Structures are given as structure tokens and as C-alpha cells.
Structure 1
Amino acid sequence: MQFSSSRQQRLPRHEVVSQWIRNEIDSGRLSIGAQLPSEKELQRTFNISRITVRRALQTLESEGLIYRKQGLGSFVADFRVRHGLVRLTDFSEDISGAGIEPSSKVLFYAQENASEEVATALGIEPNSVCVRLDRLRLGNGKPIAFDRTWLPLYYARLLDGRDLSKETIYQILQREYKIPVVRGRYLIEAVNADKELAGYLEIKENQAVLSIHRTSFTVSDQPIYVQKRFYRCDRVIYELELERDSSKNYPIASALPLRQFSPLFVQWPKNGHRLQK
């Protein structure tokens, strides 16, 4: 174990221990559900008393970083928090609802000719002009997702002059122009990150990411934009919950009512340590 540093030597002993455990969790060396070294191991490693070890563990438990099971030891807690996605939401709503501060970096914003796939989704002719918007989406300053969005010229012009690093498309269209987003179509799959995407998300090339291909519509089934979002798999997963009403008889082939469709986010606070809401 490597834990000594000039800064740590100035910290109280219990904080040296808790800081070391935080670093092990943040680095991934202690993953969710992993068991921490025993109290006796921590005593020997840091040459401290049992009382000091327990104080360090109590601090981490109060922060939501670990949980303890009597007779078994201490374990890394699950830091992912829930936010409902049954209703249509944008990135800022999803992240803010998880207690994480959202921000974005605009990487590309210009006109280009629509591919056949994009043109079909937007209801325009292939090779006709649309606008492409690329954004890196951050949570507490850490990369969570990369978005590539295509808009028809009409809707794109409504975004001219707006700070798209701070405002979302939903916010601008609904608040300023009373254009509601009433429906969305989602395709979710796992893909491997290419070199460009891996660089943006700060992961290894060919590492798996969660791809969400979404088309958003306003009234009269008018497409507003088509978007490809790529999430880091270590920072978000989705949970699907269906509810069966025992008072009704559902045919075997029928779909059950959707109760909840939730992204579960890992929190990355400003100080670099994970916290649980």
C-alpha cells in the first residue's frame, strides 16, 4: 500500500486512512461492492489504534462511500443515484436530479450535409443542409457523455447566439419559443469507443460505452433533432421497471405498462471524491 506523503503526514491519522480509502475507490482499485481491508489490517498498515480506524470508517460511512456489515467487514457502497426518465428530460435535468452539477463544452457547431440516416430521421432530403452540434457533457467537471446532435435549419436558427455550453435545446425551444418536446424515440445499445470518442470521454480506445440514439419530436410529429449520445459505462446505467396490474389479464405477447425507466449516475463532486445523494 502506498499512502505516505508530506501532505498526509500533516493530516490527523484518521483522515490519512479515510483519504487513502477514498483514493482507492476513486482509482477503481476498490470497486462497488468490494470489501475493504479489515480493521486489523488497517491498524497494522497505518500503525494506528482500533479507535482511529473506526473513526475513519465512520467518516466514510457518513459520506455514503462505504457500508458495514456486522461480523463481515466494510464494503464499497453503490454511488449510483436514481432519476426517473419516464417523462422526457434533457441532460441538465437528468444530472441535476442526481445531485450532480451539469456543464457542457461545445466542440463543433456548423452546417453540414445530412447523411441518409440523419435525413430520414429529420424528414429532410439526403445531402440537404442541416446543422451539427457536438458537445462534451460534464458532471462536476468530469466527462460523462458525448453528444452529436443534428437539427433542421429552421430549429437550428432559433439557437443562434445562444450559449449552448450553459443552455440546453429543450430549455431554449420551450422557454423562448413555446415549442414543446412532446415525444422521443430511443434506441439503446452498447458500442466500442473509437479513438476520437475515447479521447473526449477520457477512456481507452475500444472500451464499451452506452449509446443512446434519440429522435425528439414536437407537435404534429415534427422532428426537432436527432441525437447520438455516448455515456461512459462506469458513470451511468439504466434501470427498467415494469409493473403488472394483477386486476388485469395481459396477453402473453402484450407489453406491460412502463413504470420507471431510470439512469443511475455515479456522482463526481468538485473535490474529486464520489458522494451519495
Structure 2
Amino acid sequence: MQSGTSRYQRLPRHEVVSQWIRNEIDSGRLGIGAQLPSEKELQKTFNISRITVRRALQTLESEGLIYRKQGLGSFVADFRLRHGLVRLTDFSEDISSAGIEPSSKVLFYAQENASKDIAKELGIEERSVCVRLDRLRLGNGKPIAFDRTWIPLYYARLLDGRDLERETIYQILQREYKIPVIRGRYLIEAVNADRELASYLEIKENQAVLAIHRTSFTVSDQPIYFQKRFYRCDRVIYELELERDPSKNFHNPSALPLRQFSPLFVQPIKNGQSHC
């Protein structure tokens, strides 16, 4: 473990320690449930008193980032946030509901010819022109996900000239053109990040990410877009809850209706503060 004092020279001594621990948690070097260095180790590393170490730990505990066990030490808390995803939502709605500030960076926006697989998802002919939109999705300024979205030319033209770093496809189509998104088809799997994806998400190449493939539909079962979203696994997991109604499923007990489908977000740290 290396001292971080040189990076935070202007901070009070207790905040030097708490900021270093925040950065270790935010980077994933200290994962949920991981034990923090002991008070004695922190004293030695940062050349500070035991009282200063305890003040730093108390700050982190009050923020919800750590918890302490008598006689065992301090541990990283499970500070993932939950919200429902039973209805169709977009990234900004998901993240905002979790108390995290969303933002996006457009990395690519141009026409291209649809591959066989993309054409099938969009309901168009292979090699037909569509628009591809790549965006890096951020929470409190930290990378959470990378999106690659293909849009049929008709709907893409409605997005021309729009600020796709601040506006979402849902917002533009539904609010301004009265084109509702009424259904979504999801495929969720774990994949390894290639070099390009790893660089966007600031993770190691071949590190596992959560991939969600989604096709969104409007009326008459018309596809609006097909999207591949790749989440950092340390930023989100999904929780699925099913509920059996014996009166409705007596003859088919395996048919369990969806009650809740929820992403649990890890709160990225902004300016050294947690909002849990």
C-alpha cells in the first residue's frame, strides 16, 4: 500500500485518509465486503495519530461507504441502490431514480449499412442504411456503461440536430413526436470486454461486463432501435422477483408473472462524497 498524501496535500489529514479509501473503493481495489487496512496500518502509512484515523473512518461510516465490526475492523459497505424497472425506462431515468447524476458522451454518430443480425432486429433489409450511435454513459462523472445503438433511418432523421448527450431517444420520440415506446425485448449475458470497450469503461481488457441487448418497439410492433449496452459489473447488477398467484397459475405453476426487475446501482463517488 502506498501513501496518497502527496496527492492531497491541501486536505486536512483525516480527509487525506478518507479520500484515499474512497478512491480505493471507487476504483474497485476495495470491493463490497472487503476489509480495510487496520487502524495501525493506516497510522503507519499516513504518519498520523490514531485519533485522526478514527475520525476518517467515522466520516466514511456516516457516508454509508463502510461499516465497522467490534474487534474485527472496518469493511466496505454494500451501498448499491435499488429502483424498479418493471416499466420501460431509459438510462437517465434509471440513474436519476437511483440518486446519481447522469451524463453521456457521444463517441460516434453516422450512417452505416446494417449487418444481417442488425437488419433482422430492426426489421429492415440487410445492407440497408441505418444510423449507429455510440455513447459512453456516466454516473456522477464516472463510466457506468457503453451503448451502441442502431436506429432505422426514418426514426434517426427525427434525431438530427439534437443534443444526444443531454437528450435521450425516449424523450425525443415520445415527448415531441408522440411516438410511444410500448415494448422491449431483452437479452442479458456476461461477456469479456475487448480492448476498445475496456478503454471506454476504464477497466482491464477481458474483464467481465454485463451485456444487455434490447430491441425497443412502438405501435404495430415496429422496431425503433436495437441497442447493445455494456455495464461495468462493479456498477450494476440486476434483481429479478417473480410472484406466483395460485388462483391464476394453478394449472401452470411454472408461469410466474414478473413483479420486479431492478438494477442495483453502485453509487459512483463525486468530489469525494457518497450520496447513499
Check 1:173–1:40 CA distance in 2 against 1; reply closer, same or farther (3 A cut): same
Please name the residue that 2:172 is paired with.
Answer: 172
* Residue identity opposite 2:20 in structure 1: W
Deviation at 1:252, TM superposition (A): 6.4
| 1:141 alignment counterpart | 141
CA-CA distance at 1:249 after TM superposition: 5.3
Superposed, 1:61-210 pairs within 5 Å as: 61-210=61-210
Tell me the distance in 2 between the aligned counterparts of 1:160 and 1:258. 37
Distance apart, 1:178 and its partner CA: 0.8
Partner of 2:274: 275
1:55 aligns with 2:35: no
1:28 matched to 2:47? The reply is no
Rounded Cα–Cα distance in structure 2 between residues aligned with 1:252 and 1:36: 49
- 1-structure distance, mates of 2:137, 2:66: 28
Shift of 1:109: 1.4
Give the Cα–Cα distance (whole angstroms) in 2 for the partners of residues 4 and 209 of structure 1: 29
Q: What letter is aligned with 2:60? A: L
Question: Distance between the aligned counterparts of 2:134 and 2:143, measured in 1?
Answer: 14
The secondary structure found in structure 2 opposite 1:84 is coil
Judge conservation of contact 2:5–2:16 (CA < 8 Å) in 1.
Answer: no
Deviates more, 1:244-253 or 1:229-238: 244-253
After TM superposition, give the deviation of residue 186 of structure 1 in Å.
Answer: 0.1
CA distance in 2, matches of 1:108, 1:10: 39
SS of 2:155's equivalent in the other structure is: helix
Contact 1:80 1:276 in 2 (8 A): no
Query: Aligned in 2, Cα 1:164/1:45: closer, same or farther, shift over 3 Å?
Result: closer
The Cα shift of 1:97 comes to: 1.1
Distance 1:258 1:42, change over 3 A: same
CA contact (8 A) 1:60 1:66 kept: yes
Q: 2-side partners of 1:41 and 1:252: how far apart?
A: 59
Partners of 2:112 and 2:132 within 8 A in 1: yes
Q: Equivalent residue for 1:241?
A: 241
Aligned CA distance change for structure 1 residues 151 and 32 (closer, same or farther; 3 Å): same
Asked if the contact 1:187/1:214 (under 8 Å) is kept, the reply is yes
Q: Is the 8 A contact 2:4 2:20 kept in 1?
A: no
Q: Which amino acid aligns with 2:101?
A: E
Matched-pair contact (CA < 8 Å) for 2:28–2:234: no
Letter in 1 for 2:142: K
Q: CA, structure 1 residues 202+47, in 2 after alignment: closer, same or farther (shift >3 Å)?
A: closer
Instruction: Supply the distance in 2 between the matched residues of 1:8 and 1:150 (Cα, whole angstroms).
Output: 44
The one-character-per-residue Cα deviations of 1:204-262 (angstroms, maximum 9, x if unpaired) are 22221111110001112111111111111121111112223466654566231212111
Mean CA deviation greater in 168-177 or 10-19:
10-19
In 2, distance between residues paired with 1:192 and 1:165?
26
With over 3 angstroms needed to count, the CA separation of the structure-2 counterparts of 1:16 and 1:145, relative to structure 1, is closer
Are the structure 2 counterparts of residues 214 and 3 from structure 1 closer, same or farther at C-alpha, using a change threshold of 3 Å?
Answer: same
> Percent identity at matched positions?
87
Q: Which runs of 5+ in 2 are unaligned?
A: none
Distance (Å, rounded) in 2 between the aligned partners of 1:195 and 1:47 = 39
CA RMSD of aligned residues (A): 2.3
> Aligned partners of 2:116 and 2:4: how far apart in 1?
58
Q: Which runs of 5+ in 1 are unaligned?
A: none
Q: What SS does structure 2 have at the residue aligned with 1:200?
A: helix
Aligned residue for 1:136, secondary structure, equals: strand
Q: SS at the partner of 1:159?
A: coil
Return the letter of the residue paired with 2:108.
Answer: F
Aligned residues: 276
